[in-house]
Structure formats: C-alpha cells, structure tokens
Structure 1
C-alpha cells in the first residue's frame, strides 16, 4: 500500500515537472521583435568626457550614427539610410541649430540634410542641406529611398505639406518633383492629412515588390499608388490597430513599414507609454495582425554595446529600417537624452541618430514559421 502511494506520488511529480518544462519551452520559444536586436559594436572608444548628455547615455559611442558630440552646431533627428551602387551609405535626416530648444527646433528650425559613411554603423559626415534652394532647406520627417526607376528620392512632411525631391545621384542636386497626392477613396481625409492644415505627417514610402508605391503616414492607414511615387495614393483601409480595442486608439505616431520574408511589417509608437507595437500583413493592405510589443522604453534595453554597456535614452522615436538582400539588417532611431521639454538649447542636452544591428534573417524565419502555423 505504501509502495503504491509512493509510486503515485512519483508519477504526479513527474507530470508536474514535464508540464513545467513544456511551459518553459513554450515561453522561451515565443518571441517578439525586440528579441532580434543585436549588441552594437563600438566604432570608437566609449567616452564620457567633453561630450553632451545626461548620465543615462554615458559612456557612449559618438561615432555610432550621426551626432554633434561637442554640440557646437546641430541637433539631429529622423533619418533613413540608402545604400548607393558604390557601397556608400547615405543618411537623409533633419537637423536644427543647437541654440534652439527641442520644442522650437523641430518645428521652427528643422531642415533636411544628407550625411554619408562607408560603414552603415557610422560615423556619418554631415554634407549639408539636401535642397538648399527650396525654402532654405526646410524639412522634417525626412526619409530617403531609391525609386523603382533607380533615382534617389527624399520625402519631407509634418512642417511641410508632403513633398518629394529627386536626383539621379545620392549626392544631389535634389529637385522638387511635387507634392504627394491622395485619393480619399471613401475614407476620412484625416487618415492622410491633418484636417486643420492639410499637411501630411510621418510619411514613409515603400517600394512594393509588385512595382507599386505604398505610403504609411501617422494614422497607419495603408495608401497605395499605381501611378508613380507622387500618386495619387488611394487610402485602402482604416488604422491598422482599429480592430484591436485593447490597444491605445489615440496618440500613436512614427510608423515605419518594410517588406521582408514574404510579408509586410509596420511598427508604430504610442508616445505616452513609450511603447512600440508590431503588425504584419501578407499583402500590405488587408488583415493586419498584431504581433505584440516591438519594444518598450522601460523594459527593452536595445542600446547595448558588445561589452555590456547600455545607453538608456529617454525617448526612442522615428524608427526606420535598412533592408539588404531581403532582410532587415539595422534599425535607425532618433533619440534624446532627457525629456524633450528639458532640452532648452545651448545646454548639455541634445538628440542624435543611433543605428542598432538586427538579426533579420532569424526574424523572418521565425515569422514565417508562425504564419505557417496559423494557416
């Protein structure tokens, strides 16, 4: 009798142990986008002396991305990388004079600039204004891309209406092609433009593999053009998160879009919670599925160097991606060391552009496996 009780007890413990192992295996196998970020290899010695920044972003690699480390001239923001045929990396971004506060700078002094590097991680050399003859280079939400016909394009919005400049060379000169046109297609106009001023905001343009152009702006509503990069872009649906009432329905911004692994991805930021969310779609238009938190400022320590040092930037915004050979290789972020209202201008606080490696091959493999299971 005692033997049987002992035997049952052992079996019960074995079952509990197996369940525990299965649960752990499941937990470990369930990943989100943040799990595929890689440590940053420093491009120079990490430094703390004679550079700007609160203690939370020191020491750091001042040769990662684009920054004015001694704060003699500029604060940087936005940014997307385009690789040219000669292997050089071109970063199209925005800057303003460091004498302005962050709040003043981005909407009163922001101008589009071009920077270049022979290494995707940096350092990037600021080559000056992209289109100086147009409104003295005014621009924000700056992004660059290579068009279907091989020309280079730069997009500006937020403080401008939503214009596109083009050049045969990544170094310019860039000339105004025109303003982006939108066909509301029965949807509310505010999905594409602010109702008060008619401007587009947070515009990201994607070259689709089928030869069309696609735009995701602040609302995250997909817009499609079959008539070239200027459009007209038809609004094809509502906000991608509308069918997920458990997610915040307001105060979302900074969406980025890319195509890899046979599917479309969007990451956008809910700024009050400093949380970015990840969605996917097989056609880029319909059936956007929520894939979880992409990264969260309070818990996702993505700015980690190979030696274990971590920079804890106060705000992580304007994400874009760099895709090579069909996979994301790096994320590009705009970051600031303190709350935006605490950067007063001509002080020891500022913003810069940081580049973080990403294991896009493993990410796409993992996403494909998940989608296959859903069929």
Structure 2
C-alpha cells in the first residue's frame, strides 16, 4: 500500500510533468496582415513541384498509396533503397548526383543503412532520371563539394572520399578538423559544409 508521503510525491511529480507538457503548446492568433499577402509573397510559395518526367505508371513497385507515380524523377529502382546525397554540375555540363544505397530486400530493412554504399550517378538535368555510373565505397549520408584547388570531397559518416576528378578514382581519407578551441561532439553524422572567402570550409553539424 502506498504511504501518504509517497503518494504526495508522486502527485507532485505528475503535476509538474503535465504542466511542462502544456507549457510547450502556445496558441497564437493568425496575424490579420497575412490575409493581404499575394500569391508568391510567402516563403512556402518558393517551393514548387518538380515537373514530371516520362509517363505516369502503374507498373512499378511500392504500396498502393504511392501508385501510380512518375518513376523517372530522381533515381529509383526495385532493387535498391537510396538515401541522401547532393548534386554537383561537372565541367561536362552534366549533373553528378552522389548518393548512397542499400539492398531493398535486406532483412534489416531501413536498419541496413550502416552497410550502405556510395554511388556516382549522372543525368542531363537536375531532375533525372539519374543512372548509376560506378560504386565509390562504403559510407552513409554523403555530401559532395568542390574544393578551391579543383579537387572533390564526398563526406560520409566517419570520413570522406577525395578525388582530383569528379569521375574519380576516389581515395578514402579521414578528416582532420580544426576545432578552433571548441569541443567536437561525438557522433558527427549529418554534416554540411560552407565555403569561406579564403577557400576553406566551415563544417556544420545538423545533429
């Protein structure tokens, strides 16, 4: 049987928990000025749908709620799950998309991502369809960028690939960060890079 003082302590703890949950919800009235915003005046209006490429098809993989769809946008097939990546425009005028993938039928499903492989894909435009040129190596959360000296970096969790040419060959290396007297957190997994005027890059961790 719960003693009176134990029950009181439990009641106080539950009350504080409930107050904290309620404190995270703040109801605000919609500003009346928003009623005067013309179409295109909002930030969200800058996000436009990708123009469809090719026909709308039923003959593809996936659940009922994603069929029919356009399968030539970006990159997809029924063998691989694709993840992350970004696009660089090469000197050849083509769009080079560095992305990682793992087998779609893996028993681990999405949790197969630690075994993902970075691949180099290419298309004639930014929307696709992208075709795989070659496998680069093991890695996840790839992000590619071009260095001031003309070389290329593909960041992956735990390190990066380097090449003098966007088409490779690629060499795996580890980063040597200048912490600038700051603590580098553990688990650097979602990094992005911003180039400074002197050609160096600031690494930002997105969590």
Instruction: Name the TM-score class by shorter chain.
Output: 0.7 to 0.9
Query: 2:124 & 2:68 partners in 1: Cα distance?
Result: 24
Deviation (angstroms), 1:111? 1.0
Q: CA RMSD in A?
A: 2.4
Specify which of 124, 128, 133 is matched with residue 127 of structure 1. Answer: 133
Cα drift, residue 79 of structure 1? 1.2
For 2:90, which of 84, 108, 111 is the aligned residue?
84
* Cα distance in 2, alignment partners of residues 84 and 75 from structure 1: 25
Whether the aligned pair in 1 keeps the contact of 2:147 and 2:199 (CA below 8 Å) is no
Give distance in 2, aligned partners of 1:22 and 1:112: 47
Choose between structure 1 and 2 for higher RCO, CA contacts under 8 A separated by at least 6 residues. 1
2:62 alignment partner in structure 1 = 53
Residue in 1 aligned with 2:103? Answer: 97
* Deviation (angstroms), 1:39: 2.2
**Unaligned 5+ runs, structure 2:** 1-31
- Answer yes or no: is 1:183 the counterpart of 2:168: no
| Pairing 1:44–2:54 present | yes
CA contact (8 A) 2:40 2:46 kept: no
Partner of 1:170: 166
Inter-CA distance 86–173: structure 2 relative to 1 (3 Å threshold): same
Residue in 2 that maps onto 1:149? 149
User: SS of the residue aligned with 1:128?
Assistant: strand
Matches within 5 A, 1:199-238: 200-219=188-207
Shift of 1:76: 0.7
Q: Deviations over 1:311-362 (max 9, x none)?
A: xxxxxxxxxxxxxxxxxxxxxxxxxxxxxxxxxxxxxxxxxxxxxxxxxxxx
CA–CA distance in 1 between the matches of 2:96 and 2:40?
A: 37
Maintained 8 Å contact 2:86/2:97: yes
Q: CA deviation at 1:117?
A: 0.8
Structure of larger gyration radius = 2
Partner of 2:23: none
Gaps of 5+ in 1: 1-20, 131-136, 195-199, 220-375
Distance 1:204 1:175 in 2: 20
Structure 1 position 169, deviation (Å): 1.6
